[in-house]
Amino acid sequence: MKTISGISVFPGVVIGTALLFLEDNPEIPRYSIAEAGVERELARFVEAARDAAGELRRLKESAHGISREQEDIFGAHLLMIEDPDFHYQIKARLESKYENIEWIVREVSRELSQKLVMSPNAYLRERAADVSDVSRRIINRLLGQKEFSLAELSQDVILVAHSLLPSDVLAMDRSRVKALAMDTGSGTSHTAILLRSFGIPAVVGLSNATREISGGGVLVVDSEEGKLIIDPDTETIQNYRDAVERNRKLPGKLRSLKNLPAETPDGRRVVLNANLDMPEEAGGTSFYGAEGIGLFRSEFLFMTPGRSAEENQLQAYGSVLKAMGGKPVTIRTVDIGGDKAVPGFQDRGEANPLLGWRAIRLSLSLPEMFKTQLRAILRSSPEGTVKILFPFISCVEELEDALRLLEEAKTECRKKGQGFSDHIEAGAMIEIPSAVMTADILAEKSDFFSIGTNDLIQYALAVDRGNEKVNYLARPTHPAVLRFLKQSIDAAHNRGIKAAMCGELAGDPSVTPLLLGLGLDEFSMAAASIPSVKHIVRRVRFSDCQALAEEALACTTYRQTDGLLREWAKAHINER
């Protein structure tokens, strides 16, 4: 038996048979062509690209009920296949090198992928897989090769791959693929996004799983713990069968919790909110029992030129407030820069964009753009209950400047006779170590805190979460992270304001008791995670969680903390 640790993409426990999917790269010939043959080769490329685009469109049409995220992935691949600049690069290389078109496509795509892989921007690094996907489609058509189809599986399997392209996920028989294990990848790739949206338990970033596994062997994918177990022994299989049975019974129980409060048996009441990326998703959050929107990411409005106009923003914010029917909606002001590439804002050649011109820093340096957003939020406020959240605050001066511009935006609305609610709470995101260390000062100026654990863990531990070589170190249970959380929550409570959390950690049921014990007031997460977190909240005593937090804060390593959480869960949750 061997265990390999990786990155959990979608939680679940699956025992099954391994299917090793090692797609051989086709042997691509390379030969010279005469100048007279350029037009013929170019025509072959155009035809192959057209066929590849047609297949993508057919694939999209056959995937009924796909989400906006999935549509965006199809769209991104179609744009890449039909991109005039891509076609121009192919034509220019063909006319200068006089080599066969298969080799030309390979070389142009390889160079583009290498540039993306070397980018300091995590989002752009992930797009290298999309370039590989598109080029593979075109080259296979040029070579007349038929790909092995994951759509034609005869039995249930755990799919094991070195890498899996988005088109592989879209085409595979998802009723047969019960889980996935992959050598490469991170939680932000298009492949990971698709696996999450299809609800397929997966662990990625396993490095060498394909070298350790033979097809047909027994595997356990434990994507709740981020582990792959190869050739498990009898005792391990039985333990995991018990976990699978518990998980099988859970969905019905979770649905019954929808209208019940998130309250512990001894009376500790917390709020469970949903994170939101697009306005259209707001109405669906009530299905999972969301009590509001704890984080409405406004970046989508800045992705397309013209959409960030004040009236467009007003319409978007107002539609979400209406859909939530009076439940509170926390709108985070635009958080672009860093690893969020947005056209028009990423052309400054920053050596370290994650430490550079981003989020509140960008907004404060573009005050008119910032006030446009603030006015739109203010004007939307009569439609419901709105809060404003300022991201990436590193010092009280930034918070003071943001609040000053908010007052200016209010004055401008009054001058134009544009109404807004009398009291709109404004809070600071706690996601930088300097914000934690001065949280007592920030609390004096804030109506609430929202802890962004994704960035806080990254900056506290100096770990690029998009880097496969080091992201195993991004441990939320690291003693430094736990102390930062405790200090931030205490600073909020000492000032009499609420402490919320909107990072991925808030939606992880395995740490819910610890966060309760640390005193967290509000949890905001992907809407689908709310029932699982509520299930835990309603099973544990707050007093027990407080004792757990004290023990966890005394731990000296993340391994020690992880072990403590596992043993505590067995004693207080699993055995009930």
Q: Answer for the pair 518, 268: CB distance below 8 angstroms, yes or no.
A: no
User: Which of these is catalytic: 502, 535, 545, 555?
Assistant: 502
- How many other β-carbons are positioned within 10 Å of the β-carbon of residue 161? 23
Q: If you write DSSP's letter for every residue of 136-179 in order, what string do you get?
A: HHHHHHHHTPPPPPTT--SS-EEEEES---HHHHHHS-TTTEEE
Burial class of residue 496 in the structure, from the number of CB atoms within 10 Å of its CB (0-12 exposed, 13-18 middle, 19+ buried): exposed
Neighbours of 378 (CB within 10 A): 25
Check the CA dihedral 484-489-490-494 and report its sign: positive
CA trace torsion 239, 243, 244, 245 (10° rounding): 100
How many other CB atoms sit within 10 Å of the CB of residue 425?
16
Tell me, what DSSP letter sits at residue 273?
Answer: E
Give dist(CA 67, CA 73) in Å, integer: 10
**Contacts by 86-93 with C-beta closer than 8 Å and gap 24+?**
87/45, 87/46, 87/49, 90/42, 90/45, 91/42
DSSP-assigned letter for residue 340: B
Report H helices in 199-309: 209-212, 234-256
Tokens of 196: 């999450």
| Non-local CB neighbours of 286 within 8 Å, separated by 6+ positions | none
DSSP-assigned states of every residue in 174-223: TTTEEEEEESS--TTSHHHHHHHHHT--EEE--SSHHHH--TT-EEEEET
Own/partner contacts of 455-463, CB < 8 Å, gap of 24 or more, are 455/392, 455/431, 455/503, 456/430, 456/431, 456/432, 456/481, 456/484, 456/503, 457/481, 457/503, 457/505, 458/354, 459/431, 459/432, 459/433, 460/433, 460/484
Q: What token pair was written down for 46?
A: 């155009």
Q: Which amino acid is at 226?
A: G
Catalytic residue among 77, 190, 478, 535: 190
Nearest of 220, 166, 225 to residue 197 by alpha carbon: 166
- Residue of 152, 172, 53, 122 whose CA lies nearest to 161: 172
Asked about 502 being catalytic, the answer comes back as yes
Distance CA(363)–CA(177), nearest Å, equals: 44
Question: Is 493 a residue of the active site?
Answer: no
Percent helix, percent strand, percent coil in the chain, to nearest 5: 55, 15, 30
Q: CA 243 to CA 371: how far, in whole Å? A: 51
What is d(CA 167, CA 190) in angstroms, rounded to the nearest whole number?
10
φ, ψ for residue 244 (rounded to 5)? -60, -40
The answer for residues whose C-beta is within 8 angstroms of residue 165's C-beta and 6 or more apart is 129, 132, 133, 136, 191
Task: Name the residues annotated as catalytic.
Answer: 190, 502
